[in-house]
Structure 1
Amino acid sequence: MAEPILQVRDLCVRLSGRLILDHVSFDVLRGRTLGVVGESGSGKSVTASALMGLVPIASGSVKFGSREVAGLSERAWRALRGRQIAMVFQDPMSAFLPVRSVGAQIDEQIRAHERLSRTDARARTVQLLQRMEVPDAAQMARRYPHQLSGGLRQRAMIAMALSCRPDLLIADEPTTALDVTVQAQILALLREVSQRDAGVMLITHDMGVVAQSCADVVVMYAGVIVERGSVETILQAPLHPYTQALMAATPEIDGPRPARLATIPGQPPSPASRPQGCVFQPRCGYAHEACGRRPPLRSHAGRDVACVLYEGAA
């Protein structure tokens, strides 16, 4: 079995005094892609930010390889970010500085971590953009973010993330607002990363993307993991009512066209109004008295699931 490049245990994050992530635990394995899925507001992006040292961790353990990174100083994080752990942000338009060319920003990251001349750093930048299949890469490197299309900005963002050959790549909704052709190309690039023995954490709300690109998956709701396991196990037979609802809301391309797309009733809770007991209870069609207490993640049918429906079951 592949070794974990990242081990997260009981990760808790509080922002403005409110609990955002509640004892989140998972592994990212070398050579594999972990999908983190859930609705907007489920805690996916906050998890990524915590793993990059961009938001404070209230408690828990985050091990990168054998090194504990929770609680690192900002100086230590600067040496780690970009070189060993890199991130593809959800919106490259806002992630890139608008007043500097895309190439200059990639050059800067390379030179921050490696002793290269400006000429050598630019040569690597152009090579990376070519690898990302950016046309006329040398010319594109001289352009500003607003002069590139959404697909080209995302490719440039991935080139920056890969510029120092990180061991772990975190991609936060990298295909949002891209057409299906560009989306497929971006996902193919991410698969190449995992194939070179790096670990990839892919954050998405699209179960189709998870099925296409991931080996493992965790399902998050309201800052809590409700189900985790292999993609084959969970997507073929989801157990948690929330996972089942997400799957039901995903249309099948080759199946009969439904009269109406399934939806999940209600809204995810805000951190200020987190329900007692099971966090999905107010929206769950199976809710009953036992759901008034928080169920822990338990191993059942080849995966871990947090639901009282499976307590005591084999």
Structure 2
Amino acid sequence: MDSEALLAVSDLRVRLPGGAALLEGVSLAVESGRSLGVVGESGSGKSLTALAVMGLLPGLAADGCVRFRGREMLGLRERDWRPVRGREIAMIFQDPMTAFLPVRRIGDQIDEQIRLHENLSRKAARARTVRLLGEMGVPDPDQAARRFPHQLSGGLRQRAMIAMALSCAPSLLIADEPTTALDVTVQAQILVLLRRLRETGAGVMLITHDMGVVAQSCTDVVVLYAGVVVERGPVRDVLDAPLHPYTQALLAAMPPLDGPRPERLPAIPGQPPAPDARPAGCVFAPRCVFVREACGTRPPMIARGGREAACVLLAS
């Protein structure tokens, strides 16, 4: 991976205590001022990759390389993580109900992060909290800051989580399904904020199921399947002409934006393999319509026109 990237993940492997691999050799990079979309079905390893980058894998064994600004982060001690999380690397978690402490008010939790990393008074920190909540589209942000997480709707909790992640202007933002439970108007506002963050030189790692969000807000994309990277490259190239059969199948399952609407969208047959039942060859082979004998051997990433994909069809 690019050693000059803001975040460079190389050959990341995460295993269960029994030895089964949840992630197998994941490599990706996020550059300053760019946004990397990470896509794939549920269970493909998207959120797990983000948690590994954040050093939040209790009970799981991880090896490989996770470098942020050239510093190895994998295996970093917790006390060394404290000045980094929230300040240099921030994360929008997928479920804000479990990410916020239920017994503390929303505003107090955002205030605490701001004051932990910046020399601000309580009044100044609260003013920033209220301003950020307002920018996220939270009605009456001053009153919302005084509420407990359970007193806000799911959509408002999501907006508060985004405000907390952006509160210290991180260099790298990891956003795990940041527009879930938000209406289309607020979703558009959030995507604009993510683009503005990139314009300041920050990098964004965006995890999503929504290919439309990827096309609108990302510069690069990585496709994960069963804990393995199957394709990566510039977002426009990958979405316009996907190389891997799995990427092709994901895009085919999307409703068309124009033209006649099909009565039934094509579905990918079968299910992703369990971690302890991953095929020895191509991980997608059991569900692939192009499967052949050569797929019994794990294919390497093959470069084509600035992109890479792990498929034997590219070698023929």
Q: Normalising by structure 1, what TM-score?
A: 0.95
Following TM superposition, by how much is the alpha carbon of 1:293 offset from its aligned partner in structure 2, in angstroms? 0.7
Calculate percent identity across the aligned residue pairs. 69
Residues in 1 aligned to 2:41 and 2:98: alpha-carbon distance in whole angstroms: 22
Please list the CA deviations of residues 235-279 of structure 1 after superposition, one character each: whole Å capped at 9, or x if unmatched.
000110000000000111223110101110000111021111000
Matching of residues 236-247 of structure 1 within 5 Å = 236-247=240-251
Counterparts of 2:254 and 2:240, CA distance in 1: 13
How far is 1:41 from its partner?
A: 0.6
Ranges in structure 1 where 5+ consecutive residues have no aligned partner: none
Alignment of 1:1-314 (within 5 A): 4-16=5-17, 17-55=19-57, 56=60, 58-311=62-315
Aligned residues: 311
- Structure 2 counterpart of 1:80, one-letter code: V
> What per-residue deviation string (whole Å, max 9, x for no partner) do you get for residues 129-162 of structure 1?
2332323221111112222233322221111111
Query: Deviation of residue 176 (structure 1)?
Result: 2.0
Secondary structure of the structure 2 residue equivalent to 1:36: strand
CA contact (8 A) 1:98 1:146 kept: yes
Q: Return the alpha-carbon distance in structure 1 between the equivalents of residues 227 and 38 of structure 2.
A: 12
Contact 2:295/2:312 (8 A) holds in 1: yes
Q: Does the residue aligned with 1:309 lie in a helix, a strand or coil? A: helix
Q: Which amino acid aligns with 1:280?
A: F
Aligned 8 A contact 2:232 2:309 in 1? yes
Contact 1:208 1:250 in 2 (8 A): no
Task: Give the AA of the match of 2:178.
Answer: P
* Aligned Cα root-mean-square deviation (Å): 1.5
1:274-294 C-alpha deviation (Å, 9 max, x unpaired): 111000000001111100010
TM-score by length of 2: 0.94
CA distances 1:217-244 after superposition (whole Å, capped 9, x unpaired): 0000000000000011000001100000
Distance 1:204 1:299 in 2: 25
With 183-192 and 240-249 compared, the bigger mean Cα shift is at 183-192
Deviations 1:82-136 (A, max 9, x none): 1100000001122111221110110111122223222222122112223323232
Tell me how far apart the structure 2 counterparts of residues 253 and 94 of structure 1 sit (CA, whole Å): 35
The offset of 1:189, in angstroms, is 2.0
